[in-house]
Structure formats: structure tokens, C-alpha cells
Structure 1
Amino acid sequence: MSAEEGQGISVEIDQNAYLGEGADRVDAVVTVGTGPDFAVAGPPPERLEIIIIDCSGSMGAGDRFPGARRATVAALDELPDGTLFAIVQGTSEAQVVFPRRGPLQRANHESRTAAKHELDRLRPYGGTAMGTWLGLARQIALQYPHAMAHAILLTDGKNEHEAPEQLAAEIAKSQGHFTCDCRGVGSDYVVAELRAIASALHGSVDVVKEGSQLASDFQAMMRSSLAKTIPELTLRIWSPAGATVHFVKQVAPTIEDLTARRIEAGAQVGEYPLGAWGAEERDYHVQVRVEPAAPGREKLAARISVVAGDEVVGQGLVKAVWTTDTELSARISRRVAHYTGQAELAEAVQEGLAARKQGDLDTATAKLQRAMVLASESGNEGTAKLLRNVVEVDERNGTIRLRRSVDAFDEAALDARSTKTARVRKES
């Protein structure tokens, strides 16, 4: 393992650099850590929080709408005085319901009280058009271009009142303007829609069964947002001539494939936006394809830099050494192997659930069997527990069979949380 540290930023590279004759694939786990002492030059950025509440007719079921109101109040109470904020009513249209007129207000006792009064006036009606909601949130964020803008989007249903292409277009247009955490309440939403929004906008995705569970979740999301003090970090990867970056994936705390987000930044240089950060660590799996060299030859496969603004604040090197010693080349970094398995686990869960919905029970059983094995082997107890709500496990031999009756929420929770990974300790 190699590591370099800047001012409050660490970059650690975990890999087996030894390759067999003719091998051309180099894998490494890159751990980026930000310490509490790190700060971007200049005054702290202004903050903007946007809460988007699904007000469609289906939100009138059970305690969803009262729970959404209470959750919004709980989130507002977390805001430090002076924070800009807005509340958006989402139906087949989108409307700012606080403030109803004029510029945004800053959080204080009077503005919170006025916002709570407006919440009491809301009633569920109409449809669901999440792309339209995102478009309005983007318009708000664009009015305050220097603010760290964050949104919470809550829905209980499918994106039924606009074309899928419109949602995709609005997601793309919103990238870089605000981050967005997505929550589903009940079981009638489409997890893939929420994941598409949260993934592209550097947020989290999760689901709750009852409206009564929303308040604590909204508080946690708001606290997490406020703890992020670094507006944006970027992973910059230089690779030598003849080498290509095959993929870049965040693998902890959740799996996010960043490969398609590459921005060309010069000859053999690509940049991958990482979103806002607090004091935290994240792991990335980087795979580089290189031209094989003669045994005994060492090459630099990639230079990994972490960039804040225009400043390189941390750096690490990925190397390749060719050898005829099969004992050296056969070793696999424990962390590379672990996270490769975690990515396979998430894929097996999602493919298994999709096959089950399509009635392909043989494929569903095979995929979820593989998921259970991977979850057990890697110590991902969270996913293993969720899997048991969907499958029955024969404790004698570890085989599974699909449950005949599955709660729709349990299926949605397994899907939504399938990308949460079990962290593996760094090798010393």
C-alpha cells in the first residue's frame, strides 16, 4: 500500500503491483480521506436547502402526508440560522410554497414559523412528475450560484406524468448545480428512478415503510448535508501513452460507477467529479489497461490526484511490475477482491429482483442464491438480512428458494440498499 497526504487530504493506494508475463490489467483501491482540518481557501460557502415534497393524490394514503409534514418541520429545525431554504410542492407540476413570493428567506424563528404555517395548508392532489420538480430546484439553485445547494426529494409513487426522457434530461441538466437525497415512502415508487436521480446528483437513496419514520430520516439527511463543508472534490487520473482507464467505481460507502462521468482534461488526463465532502473516507476501484512489458520492468500505470478547485490536494501512484514469479503475480489485493465481490453482490441482487418481477423464477433463484453467498462471504450482514425477507434459506446446505409471498416494501428496501457495501480494513 502507498499513501500520500496533503493538508487534511489523504490518498492511499492498495494494490498488488506484480503482473504475470503478458498481463495488461492493473487494479487498485484508492482510499480518499478528508480530515476535519481541511478547508477550501476563502470564506465558507453559503448554504441553500430545498425540500421537495410529493403532494400527489396517493400521498393521502395512511400517514404519508402527515409524516411528510412532520419530517419537513424536523429538517427545518436542523437548519442553522442564516441558511437559505425553500419548500417545493411536487405534483404533475412544481411550485415553491415557501416563500410563495419574493426571494428566498434565511432560516430564523420567524421564517421557520411562516414555513410551518404554509406546510399546514398543503393537501395531497394531482400526479407525479419528478423531472419537473428537479427543474424547479435547479432554477432556485441557479439564483444562488455560489451557494452549496442540497435538496431532499420525497415521493411515494412512480414518475407517471411526464416522459422518462424528460426525467433523464432534467437529471442531466441538474448535475453540478445541486446535490439530491431521494426517499421513497410506502412501496409504489420505482427504486431505479430514485437511484438514477440520487446517483447522478451525488446523493443517497433509501426507503421507509411508514410516514412516521420520515422525521428521523429527514433530520439525518439534513445533518449529513450540513456536515459537508467542501463544495466539490475531483478525482484526476493521468495515465501514460498506451494505457487507458478501463473503469472508475466508488465502492464504499456505496457503489457508484463513475466511468461514464469522465471529463477529458488534457492528453491522457480524465477527471471524475466526486461531489461535496465532509470529514470522511471513500474508496474507489480503478482499473487501468496497460501495454505489457518485459519481466523485471516497472511502469507507472496511473497518477491519481485529488483536486479542490484548481489545487491538487492529494496524490497517489498506481504501478505495474512484470514478473515470472507466479507466487507474486497470483496474489490479489484483499481489498480489490472484496470490493469486486461487493459490486457483483449489488448486481446479483438487482438482476435477481428484476427477473422475479418478470416471472423468470429460475434466473431469480440463481441470482439471489449467488447474492446470498457473496453477502455471507464478505460479511455484508445488512444485505444478507434483507435477502432473507425475499428468500428462504436452507441452513443445512445454504441453498435458497424464493418466498411465495413477499412484502412489496421488503423487496424495495433490498433493491434500494443493495449498493451499500461492507467496508474492509486497509492492509498495513
Structure 2
Amino acid sequence: MNEFQVEVYQNEYLPQGAAEVNAIVTVTATGGDAGPTSSGQVTDEPAAEVIIVDCSGSMDWPSTKLAAAKQATAAAIDALRDGVLFAVIAGTHTASVVFPYEGGLARADAESRKAAKFALKRLVADGGTAMGEWLRLASRLFAGRASGLRHAILLTDGRNEHEPPEKLARILEKVTGEFVCDCRGVGTDWEVGELRRISETMLGSVDIVAEPAGLEADFKAMTAASMGKKLADVALRLWTPQGATVKFVKQVEPTLLDLTARRTESGPRSGDYPTGSWGSESRDYHVCIQVAPAAVGDKMLAGRVSLVSAGGDQLGSRGQVLAVWTDDTVLSTKISPEVAHYTGQAELAAAIEEGLQAQRSGDVETATAKLGRAVALAHESGHEDTAKLLANVVDVVDPVHGTIRLKRGVSAVDAMTLESRSQVTKRVGRAAGSSEEAD
């Protein structure tokens, strides 16, 4: 059974009259082999994996795309643990199960893997793109599996052109919480925003695979990561006192993901925020709570954070978010380095998104200002990966001050790679003893 350790990083000191409390909550999971069911008992229900392959007509332009997708899917099937339930979906303007032949899910073993890879030979590129239908069929395959890990991979090379946006939105709303979905776009004819909407709703990831030859390694890595998860449907539970209001709860590492609107009430002054599936890993969350201002010298528990299973059982330790009012400006004006760092990471992602949008629309002044700010923030936070991606779309004159020149003729691959990975964050460096330990 996974155990979760919760640590809180904040400056709890507030000036007189202040009402906003910010904290970074670090959650670290160390894993066993199974997680608790809603009754608190350990379950050995096998994981389930569904691979969705775009088979629209554009996957044959060039033909290497579909061939690489087949090879990548075969590699993912090989990476499944024995006993894992799996299926392969072919996605066009409709969706169909390619394997197992009778539908449903097959149990991974030598025989089923061989049969599945043989079935991949029947995939042909023809038809349109309707991602909502693909997700709906995946939902049907996962149906009835209230516990156990449920993960999907969605690969596409194009836009969702054969169903209206409202239909995709309705299907996403219906399937939210049923499984985690990682999305990949191959080539440059798909939309980052479209796949990000799916991946964020399904608590997954989005990335570009610029060349078809890169699909196999990427599918192997995604499947290996999925097989490393041990516990599904974990929620972050936040309790706040009477009169307090939760302004937001956001995952800020390893990627940015706003969970605020995903809250479900779990008790008096308590709400749960979905975090998806966990293996042995660590993530950071930014919690912001509005409280009633108090007098100098007063101290209050502004929030209590824990991780819970699908059945509401607490998993490991709890963390406390505190508020102490003081007239000592040295204490109250000190900014928590963790809060400052992740506020900057959020600004970095926004600057990249707004800068690229301005660049696409021909607004050179805004693009230069926003992407220049992104360069400065990436340099300041030591986010070398993002700095390298930015250098592919702008000429950096002074990284400290964010002085840049826009490049002419930026490739679609470079722009889409920067946009796809703009939400990936870098963890803040921490000095020993900088946390508020949970009790």
C-alpha cells in the first residue's frame, strides 16, 4: 500500500489586515504493490491500458506515420506487465476495437501480445478525426472497473475536425475521472490547445513527437510510467476553518494543472481535489486560502491537507497551513521561496502561451515583450530546458533582462515543442529545514 508524506512550505506570518495565506504542499509517495479499495482493503485488481491510434486518412501522409504508430503500439504492448488488461482502438470519425477481436479487454500474456501485434497489421489510414468518439469507446472498455489503475494513450496527427467542439466537451465532462489519458501529437498538423484540453481534463500529459521515428521510444516510456503506478483515484483533501474560502488549488510540479474547479465536497468545510494515479514519486501543489483577518499575535490553522483513497481513507501524514499575524515587518514581508518560485513558473507558462499567440497573429510588440519576459523568468529560475526551447524561437540578447529579437522563419516543430512543454515546471531548490512538518 502506498504511503504519502505531506510537507508544507510557507511563510505563515501575515501583516495586520492581511487575509490571504499561500503555501506549497509537497506530497511524496513511497509505494507498495497495491492500494486500498473503498472499504480500505488492499485490492489486487489488475491495471487496465487502452491504446488509441489515430487511423484517419492523414496518417498515410507520409505512410511512415501509420507504420511508426503500429511499431510504437507493439512496443507498448510488449511493455505491459503480465496480467494487465488491455485493448487497442482505431480512431477515425468513428472508433472501433482492433484488439481483442471480441471487444472488451484482454489479459496480457505471451499469446495475447502476439495476437494483438498481428491485429495491428489490419490498421489502415482512412476517414476523419473525432476524438470524443475515441474517448467514449475507451470509457466503455473501462466501464465497471471501479478500482484498479486505468490508463489510456491517445495518438493523433491532426485536428478534431469531424465532430463539433461542444460534442467533445460533453464527452469529456462525462468521462472525467474514469481514466488517466496521456496525449501525443505526431508531426505538426495538430493543435496543442486541443490535446492539452483533453490531457488536463483526464489528468494526463501532452507532448509532441516531431518525427514518426520517435514514437516507439515515447510509447515505451509512457507505458513504463503507467506500469510504475500503484494506486489509482487518489485525492488531495483540504479542510479549512469556518469563514475561510479556498481561492485555488493547483498542481505546480511536475506540470501546471489547475484543480480548483474539480473540487468535490467531502465533509463539513472539507473538499477533495483529484490527483490521478500514483507510483513512487513526488509532486507539489500551491494552495491559496482566504481567511478572516485577525489581530496582531493571533494564530490560526488556516488549512489541513491530506491524501485520501477513493473510499476516503487517509493515506499517510497530514500537513498544516498556518496563519500568524504580526507587526514585525521583517517577518511579514519575507516571501516563501517555494511560493515565489512556483508563482514565477506559472507566469513563465503564461508568458510563453501569450507570446506565441501574439507571434502567430503578427503582433510583434506583444510577442517580443512576452517571450522576452519568458526568457528572463527561465533564466532566473534555472529552467534550462525551457531556456533552450525559447532559444529556438527567439534570439536572446540579454537573458537577465529578457532582451530578445524574434527569429524569422521559426519552424512549426520548434514553436509547437515550446508550446507543448510550456506547462512543465522545474522544482525549486530547497535548503535543509525549510519546511513546516506535518503532525
Name structure 1 gaps, 5 residues minimum. 1-5
Q: Could you tell me which amino acid in structure 2 is paired with residue 401 of structure 1?
A: R
Q: Could you tell me which amino acid in structure 2 is paired with residue 137 of structure 1?
A: A
User: What is residue 378 of structure 1 aligned with on the other side?
Assistant: 381
Q: Please say if 1:82 is aligned against 2:76.
A: no
Name structure 2 gaps, 5 residues minimum. 37-41, 434-439
CA distance in 2, matches of 1:227, 1:7: 12
After superposition, the C-alpha distances for 1:173-215 in whole angstroms (9 at most, x for unaligned) are 1112111000000001111111111111111111111110000
CA distance in 2, matches of 1:69, 1:150: 19
User: What is residue 400 of structure 1 aligned with on the other side?
Assistant: 404
After superposition, the C-alpha distances for 1:329-386 in whole angstroms (9 at most, x for unaligned) are 0101111100000011011111111111222221111111111110000011111111
Q: Say which SS state the counterpart of residue 340 (structure 1) adopts.
A: helix
Q: Say which SS state the counterpart of residue 312 (structure 1) adopts.
A: coil
User: What is residue 327 of structure 1 aligned with on the other side?
Assistant: 330
Q: Could you tell me which amino acid in structure 2 is paired with residue 36 of structure 1?
A: G
Q: Please say if 1:36 is aligned against 2:31.
A: yes
CA distance in 2, matches of 1:387, 1:378: 14
Q: Please say if 1:107 is aligned against 2:108.
A: yes
Q: Say which SS state the counterpart of residue 166 (structure 2) adopts.
A: helix
Q: Could you tell me which amino acid in structure 2 is paired with residue 247 of structure 1?
A: F
User: What is residue 422 of structure 1 aligned with on the other side?
Assistant: 426
Q: Could you tell me which amino acid in structure 2 is paired with residue 386 of structure 1?
A: L
CA distance in 2, matches of 1:36, 1:145: 21
After superposition, the C-alpha distances for 1:23-79 in whole angstroms (9 at most, x for unaligned) are 111110000111134852313231111000000111112321111011001000011
CA distance in 2, matches of 1:353, 1:283: 27
What displacement does 1:21 show?
1.1
Q: Residue 8 of structure 1 contacts residue 38 of structure 1 at CA under 8 Å; is this kept in 2?
A: no
CA distance in 1, matches of 2:165, 2:287: 31
User: What is residue 148 of structure 1 aligned with on the other side?
Assistant: 149
Spell out the pairing of 1:179-218 with structure 2 (5 A cutoff): 179-218=180-219
Q: Residue 44 of structure 1 contacts residue 229 of structure 1 at CA under 8 Å; is this kept in 2?
A: no
With over 3 angstroms needed to count, the CA separation of the structure-2 counterparts of 1:263 and 1:398, relative to structure 1, is closer
With over 3 angstroms needed to count, the CA separation of the structure-2 counterparts of 1:221 and 1:145, relative to structure 1, is same
Of residues 288-297 and 167-176 in structure 1, the stretch that sits farther from structure 2 once superposed is 167-176
What's the % identity of the aligned pairs?
A: 53
CA distance in 2, matches of 1:315, 1:44: 26
Of residues 366-375 and 169-178 in structure 1, the stretch that sits farther from structure 2 once superposed is 169-178
CA distance in 2, matches of 1:99, 1:242: 54
Q: Could you tell me which amino acid in structure 1 is paired with residue 80 of structure 2?
A: L
Spell out the pairing of 1:309-328 with structure 2 (5 A cutoff): 309-313=311-315, 314-328=317-331
How many residue pairs get matched?
Answer: 423
What displacement does 1:270 show?
1.4
CA distance in 2, matches of 1:425, 1:332: 15
With over 3 angstroms needed to count, the CA separation of the structure-2 counterparts of 1:19 and 1:38, relative to structure 1, is farther
Q: Could you tell me which amino acid in structure 2 is paired with residue 50 of structure 1?
A: V
TM-score by length of 2: 0.93
Q: Which consecutive segments of 4 or more residues in structure 1 shift more than 6 A?
A: none
Q: Could you tell me which amino acid in structure 1 is paired with residue 68 of structure 2?
A: G
Q: Could you tell me which amino acid in structure 2 is paired with residue 346 of structure 1?
A: A
CA distance in 2, matches of 1:80, 1:319: 44
Q: Could you tell me which amino acid in structure 2 is paired with residue 416 of structure 1?
A: S
What displacement does 1:395 show?
4.3
TM-score by length of 1: 0.96
CA distance in 2, matches of 1:223, 1:344: 32
Q: Please say if 1:360 is aligned against 2:355.
A: no
User: What is residue 24 of structure 1 aligned with on the other side?
Assistant: 19
Q: Residue 2 of structure 2 contacts residue 231 of structure 2 at CA under 8 Å; is this kept in 1?
A: no
Q: Could you tell me which amino acid in structure 2 is paired with residue 237 of structure 1?
A: L
CA distance in 1, matches of 2:199, 2:19: 34
Q: Could you tell me which amino acid in structure 2 is paired with residue 54 of structure 1?
A: D
User: What is residue 343 of structure 1 aligned with on the other side?
Assistant: 346
Q: Residue 34 of structure 2 contacts residue 43 of structure 2 at CA under 8 Å; is this kept in 1?
A: no
With over 3 angstroms needed to count, the CA separation of the structure-2 counterparts of 1:160 and 1:102, relative to structure 1, is closer
User: What is residue 3 of structure 1 aligned with on the other side?
Assistant: none
